[in-house]
């Protein structure tokens, strides 16, 4: 009998008897389902093996047997969805639940951690939001930057241990002339769909990225033989191999623009390919034909936890923080935290410190596998197009009123130790604004309350908390803070009429290099760090390429002039199961999938 038919028969019995134990006979049950006694006995055997019923048969004329149904309709539905999830059929499970999608969350909780079946190793990680865009060359957030490096390759890559550029898709390169470079491609490299990489793919990819500011000095790209690529520059750039290791220069299939849903399910040449990507999970599978060393983990599944991005208003967090610890313990299902892999970027610090998700993160007092101060941090950016910040005195006023030390005192006490006030975006740098007087940007005699408009990107668990703190501080000055939530693309492109931008950034290895790329390559930063001076920005770009200005000098100008105002470094944490080997926290708050593996239990 098909599974669906057996369910229908079970539901008929459920509508008749409910979940109470009943005394009945095999013949009475057969009459209920309009079948023979022999077939009824087979149905009971199947239902018992699935754990749906208790059946105590009694032999003899006049003797009655005892039946108890153990699953209500919701539980039966959950059981079936659970089996689909075990098989990796997330879409089918969610479709099955239909209007009962709230049942998926507890089922997903049970799938966290790792599994080893027939030597097939899967590691599952919770995360608070979906990741529908994995398209190199578009604005990407921190987690997407990490994932793209698992899916794609560039001509070159960075050795994270040494911080040096090394061969990737190109096995060798050389400078023919100061403005002429040649790269030689590895043979027989395959895309995830089985097609071999060719020079035409590289030409198309680099032609595309040449439209971006950092690559605007790439003049002409041409094919040299079957596996050679020539690059002609308009400006000397001795760091071209380093530049080509950036995410924007990842190599895509030449026809990527015509492929359906490429952003969510891209095709690359990296150690992992995207098997599924939907509203509930992202599943990456090891690519068996990867040209490098085959990944050790067979699958990585990122399970989406949308409710983790919803925080209570700050006043409620403060009033109910201790109570939440007790309440959450009552409602959180029992989960083995020893098998869970958890990242500090998976949820807000408030939710973590309050114990709201202790079921899969462990207690806040637990020791982390790894923990270090992030290479990056939270910041405010004064929009150079706003009339409020045209003088450095006004930008200094903002720094004094919304300084990280003022905000820190208002943070909920249990999370303060995760936040470190800063003067720059790398922990080893320190910058202060140039000494000068401060002056309010608002006219005191105006009749209406002045309003500052601040933009941040959606789906970040800490922004609501920070903007509430800022609003409280500015309200003491008689200023109203109005917030605007944007898509990440609009935020990164600076597409909003606002006065301030709130953001956070993390820099991969080599950190200083990536700081410079971020400042000079991100439209939002480019429009304001120079105060809107395009000539100054172009001069920096030329000096950056010929190595007469470095990232620390660029950051010093942006911060001492008050356009960029760093706020906090954050402590990044990783907790993995003891069985996970080779799992190490990187600068983007994740870990390299291909070098992680699960040691089987004896």
- What confidence tens digit (pLDDT) does each residue in 216-226 have? 999 999 999 98
The CATH number of residue 25's host domain is: 1.10.10.10
Q: What is the mean pLDDT of residues 435-452?
A: 83
Q: Verify that 333 and 419 share a domain, yes or no.
A: no
Residue 372's pLDDT band (cuts 50, 70, 90): very high
- Looking up residue 531, the CATH number of its domain turns out to be 3.10.105.10
If asked whether residues 192 and 232 sit together in one domain, one would say yes
Asked if residue 97 is part of any domain, the answer here is no
Give the pLDDT band (50/70/90) at residue 500.
very high
Tell me: the pLDDT tens digits for 376-425? 999 999 999 999 999 999 999 999 999 999 999 999 888 898 999 999 99
Average pLDDT, the chain: 87
Predicted confidence band of residue 71 (pLDDT cuts 50, 70, 90)? confident
At 344-368, the pLDDT tens digits run: 877 777 777 666 555 556 666 666 6
Q: Which CATH number fits the domain that encloses residue 601?
A: 3.40.190
Mean pLDDT confidence for 246-267 = 97
- Measured between alpha carbons, how far apart are the two ends of the chain, in Å? 38
Q: What pLDDT score does 356 carry?
A: 59
Contact of 496 with 490, CB cutoff 8 Å? yes
Q: Does 531 map to a domain?
A: yes
pLDDT over 90 at 449, yes or no: no
Is there a single domain that holds both residue 594 and residue 561? no
Cα separation, 397 vs 452, in Å, equals 13
Do 283 and 252 have their domain in common?
Answer: no
Q: Which residue has the higher pLDDT, 53 or 320?
A: 53
Q: What is the mean pLDDT of residues 434-441?
A: 88
Which range of residues forms the domain containing residue 31?
Answer: 3-71
Model pTM? 0.84
In a domain, 50, yes or no: yes
Does residue 133 lie within any of the structural domains?
no
- CATH code, 159: 3.90.76.10
DSSP, collapsed to helix, strand or coil, labels residue 573 as strand
Domain match, 123 and 225 both: no
Q: Are residues 418 and 431 in the same domain?
A: yes
Determine the average pLDDT of the residues in 515-543. 95
Residue at a domain's end among 225, 244, 269: 269
Give percent of the chain above pLDDT 70: 88
How far apart CA 253 and CA 497 sit, in angstroms, is 37
| Residue range 126-184, pLDDT digits in tens | 888 899 999 999 999 999 999 999 999 999 999 998 999 999 999 999 999 999 999 99
In this predicted structure, what is the pLDDT of residue 312?
38
User: 37-49 and 3-17 helices cross at what angle (nearest 10)?
Assistant: 100
Whether residue 223 is found in the same domain as residue 318: no
Residues forming beta bridges with residue 579, ordered by sequence position: none
Q: What is the pLDDT of residue 309?
A: 37
- The highest-confidence range among 9-18, 152-161, 425-434, by mean pLDDT, is 152-161
Residue 199 within a domain: yes
CA-angle at 347, arms to 345 and 349, nearest 5°: 95
Q: Are residues 230 and 378 in the same domain?
A: no
Phi, psi of 104 (to 5 degrees): -70, -35
pLDDT at 315 over 60: no
Q: Does residue 385 lie in a domain region?
A: yes
User: Do 121 and 298 contact (CB within 8 A), yes or no?
Assistant: yes
Decide if 597 is inside a domain.
yes
- Based on the domain organization, do 14 and 38 belong to the same domain? yes
> In terms of domains, do 417 and 542 share one?
yes
Mean pLDDT of 27-56: 90
State how far the Cα of 567 lies from the Cα of 469, in Å rounded to an integer: 13
Decide if 293 is inside a domain.
yes
Residues 503 and 387 in one domain: yes
pLDDT value at residue 335:
38
For the chain, what is the domain count? 4
Both 439 and 561 in a single domain?
yes
* pLDDT higher than threshold 90 for residue 114: no
């Amino acid at each position: 009998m098909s599974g669906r038919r057996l369910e229908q028969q079970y539901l008929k019995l459920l509508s008749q008897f409910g979940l109470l134990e009943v005394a009945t006979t095999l013949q009475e049950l057969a009459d209920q389902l309009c079948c023979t006694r022999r077939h009824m006995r087979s149905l009971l055997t199947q239902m018992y093996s699935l754990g749906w019923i208790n059946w105590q048969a009694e032999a003899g004329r006049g003797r009655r047997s005892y039946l108890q149904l153990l699953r209500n309709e919701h539980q039966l539905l959950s059981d079936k969805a659970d089996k689909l999830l075990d098989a990796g059929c997330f879409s089918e499970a969610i479709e099955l639940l239909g209007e009962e999608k709230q049942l998926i969350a507890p089922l997903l909780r049970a799938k966290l951690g790792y599994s080893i079946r027939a030597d097939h190793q899967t590691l599952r990680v919770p995360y608070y939001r979906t990741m529908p865009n994995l398209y190199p060359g578009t604005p990407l957030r921190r987690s997407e930057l990490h994932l793209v490096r698992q899916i794609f390759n560039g001509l070159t890559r960075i050795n994270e241990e040494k911080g040096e550029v090394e061969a990737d898709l190109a096995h060798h390169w050389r400078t023919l002339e100061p403005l002429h470079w040649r790269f030689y491609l590895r043979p027989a490299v395959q895309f995830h769909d089985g097609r071999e990489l060719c020079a035409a793919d590289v030409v198309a990819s680099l032609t595309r990225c040449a439209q971006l500011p950092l690559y605007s000095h790439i003049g002409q790209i041409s094919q040299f033989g079957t596996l050679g690529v020539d690059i002609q520059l308009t400006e000397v750039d001795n760091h071209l191999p380093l530049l080509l290791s950036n995410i924007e220069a990842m190599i895509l299939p030449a026809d990527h623009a015509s492929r359906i849903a490429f952003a969510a399910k891209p095709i690359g040449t990296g150690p992992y390919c995207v098997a599924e990507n939907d509203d509930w999970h992202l599943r990456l599978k090891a690519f068996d034909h990867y040209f490098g060393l085959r990944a050790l983990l067979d699958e990585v599944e990122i399970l989406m936890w949308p409710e983790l991005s919803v925080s209570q208003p700050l006043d409620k967090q403060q009033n109910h923080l201790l109570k939440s610890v007790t309440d959450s313990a009552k409602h959180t299902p029992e989960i083995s935290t020893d098998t869970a892999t958890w990242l500090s970027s998976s949820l807000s610090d408030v939710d973590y410190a309050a114990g709201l998700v202790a079921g899969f993160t462990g207690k806040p007092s637990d020791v982390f596998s790894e923990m270090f101060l992030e290479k990056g941090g939270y910041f405010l950016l004064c929009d150079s197009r706003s009339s409020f910040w045209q003088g450095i005195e006004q930008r200094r006023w903002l720094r004094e009123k919304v300084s990280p030390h003022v905000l820190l005192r208002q943070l909920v006490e249990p999370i303060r130790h995760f936040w470190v006030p800063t003067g720059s975006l790398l922990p080893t740098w320190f910058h202060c604004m140039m000494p000068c007087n401060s002056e309010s940007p608002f006219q005191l005699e105006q009749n209406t309350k002045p309003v500052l408009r601040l933009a941040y990107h959606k789906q970040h668990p800490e922004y609501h908390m920070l903007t509430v703190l800022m609003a409280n501080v500015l309200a003491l000055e008689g200023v109203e803070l109005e917030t605007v939530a944007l898509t990440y693309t609009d935020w990164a492109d600076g597409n909003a009429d606002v006065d301030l931008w709130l953001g956070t950034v993390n820099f991969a290895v080599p950190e200083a290099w990536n700081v410079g790329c971020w400042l000079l390559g991100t439209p939002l930063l480019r429009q304001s760090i120079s105060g809107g001076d395009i000539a100054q920005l172009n001069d920096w770009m030329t000096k950056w390429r010929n190595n007469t200005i470095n990232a620390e000098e660029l950051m010093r100008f942006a911060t001492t002039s008050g356009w960029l105002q760093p706020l906090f470094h954050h402590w990044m944490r990783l907790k993995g199961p003891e069985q996970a080997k080779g799992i190490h926290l990187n600068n983007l708050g994740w870990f390299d999938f291909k070098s992680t593996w699960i040691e089987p239990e004896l």
